[in-house]
Amino acid sequence: MAKRNEAKSVTAARRTGGVAARQVGRPPGGDRDADATRNNILAIAIEEFSAKGLAGSRVDEIAERTHTVKRMIYYYFGSKEGLYRAVLEQAYDRIRSLESVLDLDSLPADEALRQLVKVTFDFHNKHPEFVRLVMNENIHHGVHIAQLPNIRERNRTAIATLRKLLDRGVKTGKFRRDLDPVEVHMTISALAFFNVSNRHTFSNIFGRDMTSPKAVDSRRESVADIISRWCEADS
C-alpha cells in the first residue's frame, strides 16, 4: 500500500509540476539544477549497481549518498529498475562516444585498427564498473538492456565504423577479405573485458599482479597483436 501511495504521489507531481514537483524533491533552480541532480544520482547509482547488482542495491542508500530523497529518484527515473536501465544506457553511451571521436580515417587501416583496440582496452581497464555492470546484466539474461530503445542503433554505428575500417584495409591489401566486423568487434571486446573481469582470479592463481602498469601495458600490446595478426592478409 505504501508503495502504491508513493507511486501515486510521484505521478501526480509529474502531471502538475511546480509545487507538487518540489514536494517529491524536484530541484527548484530550474533545468540546470535538475540536470545536475539527475547526473549526480546516475554517478552514484553506477557505483551502487556495479558493486551490488540490481538485487543488492537499495534506492534508500542511493538517495542518502546523493543527499536527495527516495521520491526524487522515482520522479526522475520512475522506479529502481528505471534507474538501473538509465545507468546501463549511460555506460554504453560512454564507450560508444569514445569510439565515435577517434580519427581513424587519418591513419592507415592497420594502424587505425591497433588504435581502436588499444582505446577499447584502456576504456575497460579504466572503467571496471562498466565490466561489472555488463556481467550483472548478463546474469539477468539481458532483459533490461533489451528495453533500451536506442541501444541497437548506437551499437550499429560502432559496427559500421569497424566495417569501414576493415573494408579500407582490404582495399589496400592489409586485411583479409573474409572478416566479419561483428566477430572482430566481439573478439576485441572479449579480450579487453577478460583482462578486467578475471584479473583478480588470475593474479591469485598465477601469482602475477595483472593490475600493475607493466602488466597492463604488456597485455594491451598482446591484445593489439592478436587482433592485428588475425585480421592481416596472407603474405
CATH code given to domain 2-78: 1.10.10.60
Digit-coded pLDDT (tens) for 70-87? 999 999 999 999 999 999
- C-alpha cell, 3: 508503495
The percent of residues above 70 in pLDDT, for the chain, comes to 86
Residue type, 107: L
Please, which pLDDT band fits residue 30 given cuts at 50, 70 and 90? low
Domain span(s) for CATH 1.10.357.10 in the chain: 87-231
C-alpha–C-alpha distance, residues 133 and 137, integer Å: 6
What contacts 31, CB < 8 A, 6 or more positions away? none
232: β partners: 175
Alpha-carbon distance values, 105 to 33, 101, 112, 193 (Å): 39, 11, 7, 26
CATH 1.10.10.60 occupies which residues in the chain?
2-78
Kindly indicate whether the domain formed by 87-231 is annotated with CATH number 1.10.357.10. Answer: yes
Task: Give pTM, 2 decimals.
Answer: 0.82
